Amino acid sequence: MVTRDEALAILQRERNYEDRLVRDLTTHFIDVLDEVKDIDDKEREIIKTKLSIINRDSEYHRLLFDKLHSRVFSGEIDTY
């Protein structure tokens, strides 16, 4: 069990970690994708589309983390 403040800190760290990880990885892969010689343009576009979906889903995850954060912050429960 953790206190409300500890739960909020954990949620904040987790959200920031996921945001940073997804942003860094997708940005890197998109940046180097044009250097990969063994794939054609169609495959390259498919990969870019998939990476864009990952970015979008990560943004949705961030919204869910914010909602959870808000519930913990405004909730009546003191331990989690």
pLDDT at residue number 69? 78
pTM beyond 0.85, yes or no: no
d(CA 59, CA 61): 5
Question: What's the farthest any 2 CA atoms get from each other in the chain?
Answer: 57
Pull the structure tokens for residue 50.
């998939």
d(CA 58, CA 23): 9
Higher pLDDT, 80 or 61: 61
Segment 11-25, tens digit of pLDDT: 889 888 988 999 899
Nearest to 17 by CA among 25, 6, 28: 25
Average pLDDT over residues 44-71: 87
Listed range (37-41, 42-46, 56-60, 70-74) with the worst mean pLDDT: 70-74
Q: Which residues of 9-32 are buried (b: 16+ CB within 10 A; e: fewer)?
A: eebeeebeeeeeebeeebeeeeee
